[in-house]
Amino acid sequence: MTYTSEDVRLASELFFHLLNNRILPLTDTLGSEYVENNDIREIVNIMAEEAGLFVFSTMENLHLVSEKENSIFATNYTQMKEKYNKLLRKKHFHLANIIISVYLAEIDRESNFSFRIEDAAISYYKLEELVTETLDSWKKRNEEENFSEDFAIAIDDIHHLWTVEMSHSKVNKDGTLSFSSNNRIGFINEALRPLEQENLIINLHSEFKIIPKKELYERLDYLYHGGDRYREMMELIKATRGDENNA
pLDDT at 245 over 60: no
What local confidence, expressed as pLDDT, does residue 243 receive?
52
Q: What mean pLDDT do residues 21-50 have?
A: 95
pLDDT at 189 over 70: yes
Coil, helix or strand at residue 57: strand
pLDDT at 77 over 60: no
Q: Write out the DSSP string of 64-100.
A: EEE-SSS-TT---HHHHHHH-TT--SHHHHHHHHHHH
What local confidence, expressed as pLDDT, does residue 247 receive?
45
Angstrom distance (rounded) from CA 40 to CA 32: 10
pLDDT, one tens digit per residue, over 128-173 is 999 999 999 999 998 888 888 888 888 999 999 999 998 887 667 6
Q: Categorize the per-residue pLDDT at 246 as very low, low, confident or very high, splitting at 50, 70 and 90.
A: very low
What local confidence, expressed as pLDDT, does residue 18 receive?
95
CATH number corresponding to 5-66: 1.10.10
What local confidence, expressed as pLDDT, does residue 239 receive?
87
What local confidence, expressed as pLDDT, does residue 148 receive?
86
What local confidence, expressed as pLDDT, does residue 123 receive?
93
165 Cβ neighbours under 8 A, 6+ residues apart: 182
pLDDT at 208 over 90: no
Q: What mean pLDDT is reported for the chain?
A: 84
pLDDT at 117 over 60: yes
Start-end of CATH 1.10.10 domains in the chain: 5-66
pLDDT at 8 over 60: yes
Spatial CA neighbour of 54 closest among 70, 66, 36, 38: 66
Residue 127 CA: distances (Å) to CA of 2, 103, 176: 53, 7, 17
